[in-house]
Amino acid sequence: MTLKKQALACAVTLLAMASVPAMADGVVNIGYSGPLSGGAAQYGEQVLDGMQMAAQEVDQAGLTVGGKPLKLNIVPLDDQYNPSATAINVRRLAQQSDASVVLVPHSGGIYAVQTFNQPSKILLLAYSSTSPITEHGNTLTIRIPPEFVTYMAPFTKYEMARFGKKIAFANTDTDYGKDWSTRFRPIWEKAGGTVVIDNPMSYNHSTDFYSGVSRILAAKPDVIFVGGPSEPTGLIIKQARELGFKGGFVVMDQAKLDDISKTTGGYGPLEGAIGVLPVQDDPSPAAREFTARFEKSHGGRAPTSEDALNYTAVWATAEAMKIAGTTTDTAAIRKNFDAGVKALSENHNPDGVSGVDPHGGLIMGRAVLGYVQNGAVKPLTETQ
């Protein structure tokens, strides 16, 4: 990031901080620091949409903690995917809005907050599938999505069987992208594959990837490994097809196939891609019911995993607060988060989350992987 961009990001953050509302009597604020402008804005807005939908429904259902009726309020701040801005935002959310629980949807920001959230007694809801987030003993962190390592073996098996064993790495150059690629490479190579080029790109600061894609295609891969925010991921896939690429795509879990298709002009350019199964294509009754409600309240827009999982996370937070009998004792809320998840009704749990693992990660109750074939997304079965 240039000095000019850093100054702009800082100015935007400071302006947002000045408008952060303090917590009113009878209101519980949950903070949010994520990208609401820049290349990852669409991703950040989807996370926020899911959180706000849950907060509205919690209020409609009635939230009572320790015998006191309360309203749930989401306080969002834009960090433009900048970890230093995230840290500033979260401190301000805690100090100015009395937000004892804050959600951050990117690994760089999560790591920045983990340097101080325990002594500050802030419960961090971490929306990132990066494994180390819950591997180093931070007792006030909940990781919302499943660890991405669970996707790697089925992704590898499917793409190798359909396209071949030569893969090019074109992932986002963020901490999340680096962790994904570091862990994915040995799994691909152990299965007999080779990495023909490793060329990460700046998904958040670029809109033209032709030079990077051209370098990748010169290595003649069978498969391209991509992923980051959905919109730039879609641009890379679209440009790869325009330059003649005929192979498949391994799509990291941050990028969503349905959102990517909006950038590529449909599922045609995504033929052979494998990634997270879109919520609208999940055949489970809970996912279908949630999709119908979400589309009705969001102008026909189908929900993404960002919407669904962060919706569930806010509902689970409210349930954990009720069980703990407190909105401020974050250790007690964290201790009761597993019970909060288990108290969720099916309607508030479209992904079938079943609990919290010993390290603080939510446990998915079913597989949610999908691939694109003949212009449609299909659920991946265990035998494929």
Specify which residues 95 forms β-bridges with: none
Task: Burial-class residue 22 by CB neighbours within 10 Å (0-12, 13-18, 19+).
Answer: exposed
Which residue would you say has higher pLDDT here, 39 or 384? 39
Task: Burial-class residue 61 by CB neighbours within 10 Å (0-12, 13-18, 19+).
Answer: exposed
Q: Same domain for 45 and 163?
A: no
Q: What is the domain-level CATH number for residue 211?
A: 3.40.50.2300
Per-residue pLDDT tens digits for 52-90: 999 999 999 999 999 999 999 999 999 999 999 999 999
The answer to whether the Cα torsion of 237, 238, 243, 246 is positive or negative is: positive
CA distance 9 to 268: 37
Per-residue pLDDT tens digits for 248-306: 999 999 898 998 999 999 999 999 999 999 999 998 999 999 999 999 999 999 999 89
| Residue 254, pLDDT score | 87
CA distance 273 to 159: 8
Domain membership flag for residue 220? yes
Q: Same domain for 162 and 263?
A: yes
Domain membership flag for residue 258? yes
**Token pair belonging to 52:** 């706000």
CA distance 372 to 350: 22
**Contact at 8 Å (CB) between 282 and 379?**
yes
Q: Same domain for 94 and 207?
A: no
343 sits in which H/E element: none
Q: Same domain for 115 and 127?
A: yes
Q: Same domain for 8 and 130?
A: yes
Whole domain around residue 300: which residue ranges? 3-147+288-364
**Contact at 8 Å (CB) between 345 and 319?**
no
Q: How far is CA 64 from CA 8, 59, 101, 356, in A?
A: 41, 10, 17, 23
Q: Same domain for 85 and 197?
A: no
Assign 123 to helix, strand or coil: strand
Domain membership flag for residue 339? yes
CA distance 303 to 305: 7
Per-residue pLDDT tens digits for 167-208: 999 999 988 899 999 999 999 999 999 999 999 999 877 678
Q: Same domain for 112 and 15?
A: yes
Q: Same domain for 271 and 155?
A: yes
Cβ neighbors of 4 (< 8 A, separation 6 or more) are none
Cα 223 from chain centroid (whole Å)? 24
| Residue 22, pLDDT score | 53
Reply yes or no on whether the pLDDT at 18 is more than 70.
no
| Residue 383, pLDDT score | 59
Q: Same domain for 64 and 166?
A: no
Quote the number of domains for the chain: 2
Domain membership flag for residue 138? yes
Reply yes or no on whether the pLDDT at 6 is more than 80.
no
Span 209-215, mean pLDDT? 94
**Contact at 8 Å (CB) between 229 and 40?**
yes
Q: Same domain for 141 and 215?
A: no
Domain membership flag for residue 384? no
| Residue 25, pLDDT score | 66
Q: Same domain for 78 and 135?
A: yes
Q: Same domain for 222 and 305?
A: no
